[in-house]
């Protein structure tokens, strides 16, 4: 993510009107490697101690791309030091950490500091368009939504241990890593809030080779959950990192009384729309190539049909964050939105640990407006 975010910081001002900023310091663990990365990715300096960087008066924005177990500590310290904070998803590894971060963000907001979580798929133009179409009523009343995020990079039982496979460093497996994106999309697209869930978590490969021999995998390889939302809406979410053959497929389907939408991240410039109010003999899904200047974010890029990619979502994210800081308007998705996703993750896990009992999502917050 350090590479993806750096790329966005480096090119955002070339495409969008954003307030002036400088890429100051890249922080990592290894002095030599982080110095090389800083030079390559456009940062003026590098450092290995994030705390000392937070003490600097010439640092106004902190962008956290470290693993989840560090999010709370760095984000809270940065907000308390008077910095604006962008943090990668999921907000944290535990509900308690996510709550503490959200409290710190609320206090900081009252002093003018902004905070945002990096659910970058909100910045896929096709999904931003999908949200607009749903909000405009083009699907009528949405009855249900499906989201499946499927990858296969852990299909091989010999894939080695990483921080992502240990509960103490990752919080959870496919659930927190990628179902978090899908859950955010479900709430973002529909404008509804998930109220209750029934979940199943499964670890197919219980041990993997680690640096010191075989190690237990302590997180899920795959997760499934049925969902019930405000607005009498149903939903389902599925996530897997062992879905053989699926590289990075986030599939979303939305079904309403007057229409339907389908999307797949592996074809991210396309949105499929069915207008069920058309005469039945003419009905069928049509493929919208979301590449017109009228579409969200596209005016800044290339001529029609000259498609964009995954990396552009991060540029859009930085653009929106900088403009929010400049205008003083709270950016979206907020830490509150991240906390609401964290509550759903916790409820899915609790349900899965209790034979899939239908479990309430604690203290659901109203879905915030998308930026």
Ligand X SMILES: NC(=O)c1ccc[n+]([C@@H]2O[C@H](COP(=O)([O-])OP(=O)(O)OC[C@H]3O[C@@H](n4cnc5c(N)ncnc54)[C@H](O)[C@@H]3O)[C@@H](O)[C@H]2O)c1
Binding interface with ligand X (CB under 6 A): 1-2, 27-29, 50, 65-68, 70, 88-89, 118, 120, 177
Q: Which is nearer to ligand X, 29 or 306 (CB)?
A: 29
Q: Which is nearer to ligand X, 70 or 276 (CB)?
A: 70
Minimum CB–partner distance for residue 53 and ligand X (Å): 10
What is d(CA 17, CA 9) in angstroms, rounded to the nearest whole number? 13
DSSP category for residue 311 = H
**How far is Cα of residue 371 from the mean position of the Cα atoms in its chain?**
14
What is d(CA 74, CA 68) in angstroms, rounded to the nearest whole number? 10
Q: Which is nearer to ligand X, 101 or 133 (CB)?
A: 101
**Who contacts 89 (Cβ-Cβ below 8 Å, separation ≥6)?**
117, 118, 119, 180, 181, 184, 338, 341
What is d(CA 140, CA 104) in angstroms, rounded to the nearest whole number? 39
What is d(CA 90, CA 182) in angstroms, rounded to the nearest whole number? 11
Q: Which is nearer to ligand X, 27 or 260 (CB)?
A: 27
Minimum CB–partner distance for residue 162 and ligand X (Å): 7
Minimum CB–partner distance for residue 265 and ligand X (Å): 10
Q: How many CB atoms lie within 10 A of CB 231?
A: 13
Length of the chain as a residue count:
371
Q: Which is nearer to ligand X, 28 or 191 (CB)?
A: 28
Q: Which is nearer to ligand X, 127 or 260 (CB)?
A: 127
Minimum CB–partner distance for residue 234 and ligand X (Å): 26
Query: Which residues on neighbouring strands pair with residue 33, listed in sequence order?
Result: none
Minimum CB–partner distance for residue 59 and ligand X (Å): 14
Q: Which is nearer to ligand X, 177 or 320 (CB)?
A: 177
Minimum CB–partner distance for residue 136 and ligand X (Å): 27
What is d(CA 63, CA 115) in angstroms, rounded to the nearest whole number? 10
**Who contacts 206 (Cβ-Cβ below 8 Å, separation ≥6)?**
216, 217
Pairing of strands 84-88, 61-64: parallel
Minimum CB–partner distance for residue 359 and ligand X (Å): 24
């Amino acid at each position: 993510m350090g590479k993806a975010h750096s790329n966005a910081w480096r090119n955002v001002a070339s495409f969008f009107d954003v307030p002036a900023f400088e890429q100051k310091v890249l922080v990592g663990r290894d002095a030599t490697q982080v110095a090389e990365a800083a030079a390559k990715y456009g940062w003026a300096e590098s450092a290995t101690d994030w705390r000392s960087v937070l003490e600097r008066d010439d640092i106004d924005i902190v962008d956290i791309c470290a693993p989840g177990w560090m999010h709370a500590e760095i984000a809270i310290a940065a907000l308390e030091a008077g910095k604006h904070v962008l943090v990668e998803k999921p907000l944290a590894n535990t509900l308690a950490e996510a709550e503490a971060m959200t409290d710190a963000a609320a206090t900081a907001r009252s002093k003018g500091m902004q905070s945002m979580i990096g659910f970058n798929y909100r910045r896929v133009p096709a999904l931003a368009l999908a949200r607009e179409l749903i909000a405009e009523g083009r699907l009528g009343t949405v009855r249900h939504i499906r989201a499946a995020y499927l990858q296969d990079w852990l299909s091989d039982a010999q894939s080695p241990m990483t921080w992502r496979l240990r509960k103490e460093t990752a919080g959870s497996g496919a659930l927190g890593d990628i179902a978090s994106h899908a859950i955010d999309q479900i709430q973002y697209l529909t404008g509804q809030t998930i109220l209750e869930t029934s979940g199943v978590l499964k670890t197919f490969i219980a041990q993997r080779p680690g640096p010191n021999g075989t190690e237990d995998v302590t997180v899920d390889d795959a997760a499934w959950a049925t969902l019930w939302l405000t607005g009498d809406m149903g939903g389902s979410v599925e996530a897997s990192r062992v879905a053989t053959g699926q590289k990075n497929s986030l599939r979303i389907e939305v079904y309403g009384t007057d229409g339907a939408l389908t999307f797949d991240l592996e074809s991210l410039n396309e949105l499929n729309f069915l207008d069920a109010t058309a005469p039945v003999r003419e009905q069928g899904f049509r493929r919208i190539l979301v590449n017109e200047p009228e579409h969200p974010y596209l005016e800044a890029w290339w001529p029609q049909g000259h498609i964009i990619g995954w990396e552009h979502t991060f540029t859009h994210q930085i653009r929106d964050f900088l403009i929010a800081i400049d205008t003083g308007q709270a950016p979206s998705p907020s830490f509150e939105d991240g906390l609401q996703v964290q509550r759903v993750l916790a409820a899915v896990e609790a349900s899965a640990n209790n034979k899939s009992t239908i479990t309430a999502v604690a203290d659901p917050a109203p879905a915030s407006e998308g930026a």
